[in-house]
Chain A
């Protein structure tokens, strides 16, 4: 902003006031306004830094939790659930010969394998990984 021009415009709009004094007052007012603007900007900057710090921390926490959840699901689908399926299949085969195991299997909803069944079905389907995004 051109200060001289502003002071001249202000002097023209205030008749009866001496120009030098008016100009000094306007310059002082302008200086105060600039100072106020800078103070406000600094305060906003500090506030913004605090908000950013909080968001950064929050982002890190959520990303860590998300990675952990993905790892758990991945490990379950690739390692643990096939092992459980294998155990159930073997137990079903074992129960064909040793029928006293059947009550245990029935408690978990596992039906005994048919004698001519080559590979008994898995007890339950794997949870689908496609439900992650909503």
Chain B
């Protein structure tokens, strides 16, 4: 009888473990599918951020030739006032 109870307990625990495994498999499956769906968007986001960074770098280079653009860059926090040249800004920003 004691042996039977032990077997029943083992079977019960095994059933619970099987349900837990099924639940975890479902969670991993759906999360992986969502992640796969997000990948193209992440690639696009990275491409756009790289382009924006390159544009900003060129604009910063341009600001060395034409300091008039500094006020624009400072207003968007892309350039600090301390980094700006000593020449006065046209609009005082």
Contacts and interface: CB of A to CB of B under 8 A. Distances in A.
Interface string B50-83: 0110111011001000101100100110100000
A72 B45 contact: yes
17 contacts: A38-B6, A38-B7, A41-B10, A45-B13, A48-B18, A48-B21, A52-B20, A52-B24, A58-B24, A62-B35, A66-B34, A70-B38, A87-B56, A104-B59, A108-B54, A127-B41, A132-B41
A58 B32 CA distance: 10
Contacts of A34: 3, 7
Interface of A: 1, 34, 37-38, 41-42, 44-45, 48-49, 51-52, 55-56, 58-59, 62-63, 65-66, 69-70, 72-73, 76, 80-81, 83-84, 86-88, 90-91, 94, 98, 100-101, 104, 107-108, 110, 124, 127, 129, 131-134
Interface residues of B, number: 47
Contacts of A45: 10, 13-14, 17
A58 B35 CA distance: 13
Given A48-B14, A48-B17, A94-B69, A55 B42 contact: no
